[in-house]
Amino acid sequence: MSDLSRNNRLRGIVAGAAVAAALGVTGYIWWRNHLTNGGDDEDDDDDDGDGDGDDGDGDGNGGQDSKTIILTKSLCENKGIDWKRLFDTNCVVLVTPGLKFQPSKDSVNSTNDYKIIHCDTMEGLFSCAKHLGKKKLLYVPDELESGLPVDISRFVREVVELDSDNLRKDPELFFKY
């Protein structure tokens, strides 16, 4: 085989590899920008920039207000809370360890059953709160002995401290947050 033939073959391989690399880099940049910008759709409510059409709050609802409620004893005993209405909104209830919470079948239908998470430890409860990534976290600070983890604000946009006495008087406060 002559040197000229070998050089032509080498040039072809190098040129092909360069074209493939350029196409790969271009495709990757387009893909990353397309996902970061949410594509050309201006109404996809993709606030977190990952291109999945979701706003990153972990609920898949595309931006509707979402809440995690840490259920403590006073909230569980509050008979005025409309659990059916609450579970029809985008909320998840994390039941603190040792608390028995079984709302009536009228207030929680089988399609909303998954919105009640019974936690065995406070560490598990806070892990759930972080990984659910809801926009708001509602809790009664007087009833959490250890308080909230210092890094909770990295996982939820707003932490709302509830007053159990005010909630007892006006259970509608749940729907104002």
* E runs forming strands in 16-73: 67-71
Paired strand residues for 91: 67
Cβ 83 vs Cβ 68: under 8 Å = no
For residue 155, what are its two tokens?
A: 């996982």
**Predicted confidence (pLDDT) per residue in 15-35, tens digit:** 999 999 999 888 888 777 766
Q: Which domain holds residue 112?
A: 67-175
In a domain, 95, yes or no: yes
In a domain, 61, yes or no: no
In a domain, 30, yes or no: no
Q: What are phi and psi of 136, to 5 degrees?
A: -125, 145
In a domain, 49, yes or no: no
In a domain, 38, yes or no: no
Mean pLDDT of 147-156: 88
Number of domains in the chain: 1
Q: What is the pLDDT of residue 120?
A: 92
Mean pLDDT of 50-58: 44
In a domain, 126, yes or no: yes
What CATH number did the domain enclosing 92 receive? 3.40.50.11730
Is the model's pLDDT at 126 over the cut of 60? yes
